[in-house]
Amino acid sequence: MFTLFTLRNSLTMLYMNGSEIVSLKVVSLLLALLMVAGCAKHVETSGPLMSSSKPKQETATSLSKKGDEVVESKQSDSGATVTTSRAKQVSKEDLSESQDPAKSVIKTPEINMDELVERLKETEAIGVFTKLAIRSDVLDFKTSIDSYRKKGELERYLGHLRDHFDGLLLKILALLERDPSLSKDIQHARESIWRSFLEAKS
Amino acid sequence: MKIILTAMALFFLPLQAHAVTMAEDIATTIMLRGHPCGGSTASQISETRDGAGNRTIQATCPNGKRYQVDVSSDGRVTVKPLN
C-alpha cells in the first residue's frame, strides 16, 4: 500500500516538469485503479474471510471409539497431537443401526409376478386378440429357452435370447400406452421377469 | 345458463381411457404379427367358430388388405393375408 502511494507521488513529480498534463491524468487514473486493486487484495487476506484458513492450523482430526469413550485426536501445524477423551453414552439404537446390515440396505419394492400377469390379463388397454397374440409370443419364447437348455446351449445363446426378450417387452410396453401404471410396473420388473424366464423349467 | 353449465361439466369430466374395440384389437393383432395394416382400426369384420372351439376372423385393414386371424382352441393366434 505504502509502495503504491510512493510510486504515485514520484510519477506525479516527474510529469509536473513537462507539459503532458493529459498523460499525467491517465497515469494517475491507472495508479488509482492499482491502489484500489491492492486494497481489495489486502481486505481479502486480512478480513473476516481469514477464518476460512482455520483448518490449516488443525490439519487432522480423528475420532476413535474405545468402549463408551470417544477419543478425539487433533494434529496441529506444529505436528503436535492433542488427544482428548470424553465419555459418551452410546445408545443401543445407534449400535443396532450400525450393526444391522438389513436396516442399512435400501429396501426395493417386492415384485409379485403373479399379480403382474393378472393385471396384464385384466387390463382394458389391450384387446383380447392382442393379449392372445402376446401370450403366443411369450409361450414361443419360453419354448425356445427350453430347447436351448435341453441342448445345453443356453449360455451360448443368452445374448440372442435377451435381445428377443427386450423386443418382446418393448412390444408389450408399447401396447400398454393406455395403462401407464402397469407399463411402469412391468418396466421396473424387467430383470425379475427375465430371471423368471431363465429359472422356469417346463 | 344451461349451456354454460353443460359445457363446464363436459370440460371438467375426467377423460377415461375407453376399452379397446374389436376393430382396434384386430388391427393391433395383425400389426403385432408383422403385417402392414395402414391404420389402427380394421373394418368389415366377420367371425366364425367351429365345433372344436377354433375362431376365424376376417377383417380389412385401412390400407385395403384383407387378413384372416385364426385363434386356436388353446389360444394360439396366427394371421395370414387373404389377398
Residue A78 identity? S
User: What's the pLDDT at B8?
Assistant: 60
User: What's the pLDDT at A114?
Assistant: 83
Low-confidence ranges of chain A (pLDDT < 70): 1-111, 200-202
CB B77 within 8 A of CB B69: yes
Q: Do B25 and A124 touch (CB under 8 A)?
A: no
Helix (H, G, I), strand (E, B), or coil: what is residue A132?
Answer: helix
Identity of the residue in B17, B19, B29 whose CB atom sits nearest the CB atom of A129:
B29
Task: Enter the ipTM.
Answer: 0.80
A146-170 residue pLDDT tens = 999 999 999 999 999 999 999 999 9
Chosen for mutation from A124, A132, A142, A143 (greatest number of chain B CBs closer than 10 Å) is A132
Q: Which residue has the cell 412391468?
A: A186
Q: Residue B26 pLDDT > 80, yes or no?
A: yes
Q: Do A129 and B17 touch (CB under 8 A)?
A: no
pTM: 0.56
Cβ contacts of A126 on chain B, cutoff 8 Å:
20, 25, 28
From the list A38, A46, A44, the residue with the least C-alpha distance to A4 is A38
Cα–Cα distance for residue pair B46/B83, rounded to 1 Å? 16
User: What's the pLDDT at B2?
Assistant: 66
Q: Do A129 and B21 touch (CB under 8 A)?
A: no
User: What's the pLDDT at A2?
Assistant: 47
The secondary structure element, H or E, covering residue B15 is none
Q: What is chain A's length?
A: 202
Residue B19's pLDDT band, with cuts at 50, 70 and 90, is confident
Helix (H, G, I), strand (E, B), or coil: what is residue B66?
Answer: strand
Q: Do B32 and A171 touch (CB under 8 A)?
A: yes
From the list A122, A140, A127, the residue with the least C-alpha distance to A181 is A122
B42-59 residue pLDDT tens = 999 999 999 999 999 999
Q: How close B7 comes to chain A (CA, Å)? A: 26
CB A76 within 8 A of CB A60: no
B24, closest residue in chain A (CA to CA): A127
Cβ contacts of B69 on chain A, cutoff 8 Å:
129
Burial of A106 (0-12, 13-18, 19+ CB in 10 A): exposed
Cβ contacts of A168 on chain B, cutoff 8 Å:
none
